[in-house]
């Protein structure tokens, strides 16, 4: 009797299981047929359905996963090397180097591996939308040429169309360079457009589509994209660079445009851009303009830079001081000496450094006084280093011949024992005295 009951229970369980399997299989078949799939095989025992649509092979099977008991697998032939592409949800613990395509939301959602050209070409805006949609339905993964998602039976009718669309897009013929160029021109996100453009420049520089993409990018609505394209086009892109430098639409971009133009930007134009940048608070552009003016060699450069150094009390004042040093002009010395008295600490350091480049003997005493005021810190080191640099330039002197020890402030004289030895006198008058035969080499 007990044996009979056991057999009855087992048989009932099997019958119930087959009934359940039959019901699930029926729902899978209906979903497959509604999507235009041709069902080739369906088994209650193995609980698997196989179907086909053109080049796509589809399996719907039991996943043996709690909460997501159904797995849909779509196998697509794809382009060459497609089987090496891997896309799966970002876990937060991935240590391997992955591909970032410039869509911040998508990049944070998925972990991507594979040939960077192929992956970037495949992941256009529509492909990313489909992948994100499937990922909201279940646990999605693409690897070895197969798209797989685990989900509930109720989600099968909704997920299957998305997976078939993905499979068709992966299976479609793909001209990688052309698609990269299209992505560089058409993608919604400027970061993605720039990513595809840079990929063309780096890996396919001689391909004709790269030149086409560069010219198209000069009209891009993103200043970052226009900047990169203009820089790569050389003389052909100078007009775009000039527009970006003058426009001040984006401080970083304008600064880079000024830097890229360098000597091709006339002094007066640089001065105008500097004025506009200062009035609009475009600090990066102003900083690059100051550097350019400092290297320009123009007669008015010192006045422009000294004026900025005097009027600015923020981070641009030290930049103007450094630019004054870059002029190499003796006229830069007086405003730099005055800057040593300003309260702004980083300005004093910058002024001392600049005097190390353009200062004469006249700057030694102010530098020594500055060093004596600040016994510790960067300004003392900068002042002493500037004095050493001035010494090295003094005509007739050699390293080590300048001494500031053992005397009162301002007591400078040229030693009688050997021409060119600058030292402190013991005379409290504090005057710089030179023998007649040594007077001409010294800067006035």
Same domain, 311 and 272: no
- Residue 219 banded pLDDT, cuts 50, 70, 90: very high
Same domain, 167 and 64: yes
| Tokens (6 digits) for 340 | 């040593």
Distance spanning both ends of the chain, measured CA to CA: 125
Please indicate whether residue 427 or residue 342 has the higher confidence score (pLDDT).
342
Whether 42 and 134 share a structural domain: yes
Q: DSSP assignment, residue 300?
A: T
Pair 94, 169 in one domain? yes
Separation CA 297–CA 295 (nearest Å): 6
Task: Examine the domain organization and report whether 433 and 388 are in the same domain.
Answer: no
Please tell me the predicted confidence (pLDDT) of residue 432: 42
- DSSP 8-class letter at 74: E
Decide if 105 is inside a domain: yes
Provide the β-strand partners of residue 423. 413
Residue 1 has what pLDDT?
A: 59
In a domain, 125, yes or no: yes
pLDDT of 167: 94
Instruction: Count structural domains, the chain.
Output: 4
pLDDT at 39: 94
Kindly state whether residue 346 falls inside one of the protein's structural domains: yes
Report if residue 42 sits inside a domain.
yes
* Co-location of 291 and 312 in the same domain: no
Q: Would 317 be classed as within a structural domain?
A: yes
Cβ pair 289, 277 in contact under 8 A: yes
Among the candidates 247, 269, 296, a domain finishes at 296
Rounded-to-integer distance, Cα 350 and Cα 332, Å? 13
Cross-strand pairs, 140 = 149
pLDDT tens digits along 126-185: 999 999 998 988 888 999 999 999 999 899 999 999 899 999 999 999 999 999 999 999
Residue 139 sits in the same domain as residue 52: yes
Say which residue, 396 or 302, is predicted with more confidence: 302
Report yes or no: 152 and 62 within 8 Å, Cβ to Cβ: no
Find out whether 103 and 128 touch, Cβ atoms under 8 Å: yes
Same domain? 225 vs 239: yes
pLDDT of residue 232: 94
> Are residues 232 and 379 both part of a single domain?
no
The pLDDT value recorded for residue 3 is 60
CA distance 442 to 436: 11
Q: Which residues contact 323 (CB under 8 A, 6 or more apart)?
A: 290, 291, 293, 294, 305
CB 158 within 8 A of CB 132: no
- List pLDDT tens digits, range 18-31: 456 788 999 999 99
Reported as a single tens digit per residue, the pLDDT across 222-271 is 999 999 999 999 999 999 999 999 999 899 999 999 999 988 899 999 99
Q: What was the pLDDT predicted at 94?
A: 57
Identify whether the C-beta of residue 270 lies closer than 8 Å to the C-beta of residue 296.
yes
Gap between the Cα atoms of 217 and 222, Å rounded: 9
Residue where a domain terminates, one of 265, 296, 327: 296
Total length of the chain: 444
What band does 14 get if pLDDT is binned at 50, 70 and 90? very low
On whether residue 96 sits in a domain, the answer given is yes
The total of other beta-carbon atoms located within 10 Å of residue 44's CB is 16
Report the predicted TM-score, pTM, of the whole model to 2 decimal places: 0.76
For the chain, what is the mean pLDDT?
A: 85
Distance CA 380, CA 373 (A): 8
Say whether both 24 and 138 belong to one domain. Answer: yes
Task: For residues 309 and 43, give the distance between their C-alpha atoms in angstroms, rounded to a whole number.
Answer: 84
Q: Are residues 149 and 258 in the same domain?
A: no
What long-range pairs does 257-260 form, CB within 8 A, spacing at least 24?
257/227, 257/230, 258/285, 258/288, 258/289, 258/292, 259/288, 259/292, 260/227, 260/230, 260/231
Q: State the average pLDDT over residues 300-321.
A: 94
- What are 393's two structure tokens? 């330039």
Q: How far lies 404's CA from each of 69, 259, 319, 387, 431, in Å?
A: 86, 41, 29, 9, 14
155 and 138 Cβ atoms separated by less than 8 Å: yes
Q: Is residue 305 a contact partner of residue 323, using CB atoms and an 8 Å limit?
A: yes
Q: Has residue 188 been placed in a domain?
A: no
pLDDT of 64 > 90? The answer is: no
pLDDT category of residue 374 using cuts at 50, 70 and 90: confident
Q: Is residue 200 part of a domain?
A: no
Which residues are bridge partners to 142 per DSSP?
87, 147
Structural domain boundaries, residue 439: 400-444
- For 286-313, what is the mean pLDDT? 95
Asked if 122 and 151 count as a contact pair (C-beta separation under 8 A), the reply is: no
Domain boundary among 296, 325, 359: 296
**Residue 9 shares a structural domain with residue 103:** yes
48 sits in the region (left: phi over 0; alpha: psi -120 to 50; else beta) called beta
Residue 100 has which token pair?
A: 């970032």
């Amino acid at each position: 009797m007990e044996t009979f009951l056991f057999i009855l229970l087992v048989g009932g369980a099997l019958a119930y299981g087959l009934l359940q399997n039959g019901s699930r299989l029926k729902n899978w078949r209906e979903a497959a047929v509604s999507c235009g799939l041709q069902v080739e095989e369906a088994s209650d025992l193995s609980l698997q359905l196989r179907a086909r649509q053109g080049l796509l092979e589809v399996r719907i099977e039991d996943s043996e996963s709690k909460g997501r008991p159904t797995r849909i697998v779509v196998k697509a032939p794809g382009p060459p090397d497609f089987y090496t592409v891997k896309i799966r949800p970002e876990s937060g613990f991935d240590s391997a180097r992955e591909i970032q395509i410039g869509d911040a939301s998508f990049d944070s959602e998925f972990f991507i591996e594979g040939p960077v050209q192929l992956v970037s070409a495949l992941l256009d805006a529509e492909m990313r939308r489909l992948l994100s949609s499937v990922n909201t339905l279940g646990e999605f993964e693409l690897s070895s040429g197969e798209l797989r998602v685990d989900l509930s039976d109720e989600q099968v009718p909704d997920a299957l169309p998305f997976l078939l669309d993905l499979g068709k897009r992966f299976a479609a013929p793909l001209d990688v360079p052309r698609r990269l160029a299209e992505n560089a021109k058409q993608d919604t996100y400027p970061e993605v457009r720039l990513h595809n453009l840079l990929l063309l420049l780096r890996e396919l520089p001689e391909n004709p589509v790269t030149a086409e993409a560069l010219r198209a990018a000069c009209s891009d609505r993103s200043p970052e994209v226009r900047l990169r394209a203009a820089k790569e086009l050389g003389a052909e892109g100078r007009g775009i660079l000039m527009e970006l430098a003058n426009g001040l639409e984006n401080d970083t971009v304008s600064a880079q445009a000024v830097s890229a133009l360098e000597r091709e930007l006339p002094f007066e134009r640089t001065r105008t851009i500097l004025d506009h940048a200062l009035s609009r608070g475009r600090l990066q552009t102003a900083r690059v303009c100051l550097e350019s003016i400092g290297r320009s060699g123009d007669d008015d450069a010192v006045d422009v830079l000294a004026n900025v150094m005097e009027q600015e009390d923020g981070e641009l004042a030290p930049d103007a001081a450094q630019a004054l040093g870059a002029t190499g002009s003796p006229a830069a010395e007086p405003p730099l000496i005055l800057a040593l008295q300003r309260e702004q600490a980083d300005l004093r350091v910058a002024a001392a450094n600049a005097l190390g480049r353009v200062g004469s003997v006249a700057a030694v005493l102010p530098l020594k006084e500055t060093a004596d005021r600040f016994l510790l810190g960067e300004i003392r080191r900068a002042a002493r280093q500037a004095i050493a640099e001035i010494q090295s330039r003094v005509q007739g002197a050699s390293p080590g011949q300048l001494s500031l020890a053992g005397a009162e402030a301002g007591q400078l004289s040229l030693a009688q024992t050997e021409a060119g030895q600058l030292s402190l006198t013991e005379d409290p008058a504090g005057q710089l005295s030179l023998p007649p035969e040594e007077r001409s080499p010294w800067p006035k």
